[in-house]
């Protein structure tokens, strides 16, 4: 039997994942408008991944006979000073999401909800990858600085990213 407090916490996490999706969609649209189509592509894939995270949690709640309750998604920023600013904001946000998942994991552990704890393992691993890939992009951006050719090359590199459904 799924505890109400775990059900509520999972619903909150679903909302957080949907907000993440909305944030990255906003970043994608911003950079599309700026003509940085590779960066826009990277954030569009990121948007798809976040939707997959939310859906995986919804499927899990359903499998546990819980009730998914969709809450309104709060507004997101709609412009960033630079590509690097957007990636710094992404890293900061992903760190926040990591701590939310860790809190959820700790709650599942306290309540001896081993199934939820097990489910969250994949999310914890996903966060490690997420933060690492964003950090690498930030390192590259720091390296090229204001160099137009360097930024162009990063944009082309990120244009190659394709969506692969995460195994959750």
Residues of this chain that interact with Fe ion (CB under 5 A) are 17, 50, 53
The torsion angles phi and psi of 158, rounded to 5 degrees, stand at -75, -15
- Judged by beta carbon, residue 37 or residue 102, the one nearer Fe ion is 102
User: For Fe ion, which is the closer residue by CB, 88 or 144?
Assistant: 88
**Contact of 97 with 126, CB cutoff 8 Å:** no
**Alpha carbon distance 51, 9 (integer Å):** 18
The CB-of-156 to Fe ion minimum distance in angstroms stands at 26
Dist CA 95 CA 101 (whole Å) = 10
Residue linked to tokens 């999401």: 97
* Residue nearer to Fe ion on the CB measure, 108 or 151: 108
**In the complex, minimum distance from the CB of residue 143 to Fe ion, in angstroms, rounded to a whole number:** 27
Q: How far is the CB of 62 from Fe ion (least distance, A)?
A: 19
Q: Which is nearer to Fe ion, 43 or 151 (CB)?
A: 43
Distance of closest approach, residue 97 Cβ to Fe ion, in angstroms: 6
**DSSP state, residue 119:** H
């Amino acid at each position: 039997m799924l505890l109400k407090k775990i059900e509520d916490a999972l619903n909150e996490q679903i909302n957080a994942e949907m907000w993440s999706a909305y944030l990255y969609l906003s970043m994608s649209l911003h950079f599309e408008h700026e003509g940085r189509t590779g960066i826009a592509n990277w954030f569009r894939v990121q948007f798809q991944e976040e939707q997959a995270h939310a859906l995986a949690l919804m499927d899990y709640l359903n499998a546990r006979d819980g009730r998914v309750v969709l809450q309104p998604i709060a507004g997101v920023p709609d412009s960033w000073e630079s590509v690097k600013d957007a990636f710094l904001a992404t890293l900061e946000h992903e760190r926040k999401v990591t701590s939310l998942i860790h809190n959820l994991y700790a709650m599942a552990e306290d309540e001896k909800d081993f199934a939820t704890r097990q489910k969250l393992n994949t999310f914890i691993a996903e966060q490690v990858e997420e933060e690492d890939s964003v950090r690498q992009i930030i390192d590259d951006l720091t390296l090229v600085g204001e160099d137009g050719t360097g930024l162009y090359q990063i944009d082309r590199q990120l244009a190659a990213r394709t969506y692969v459904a995460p195994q959750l």
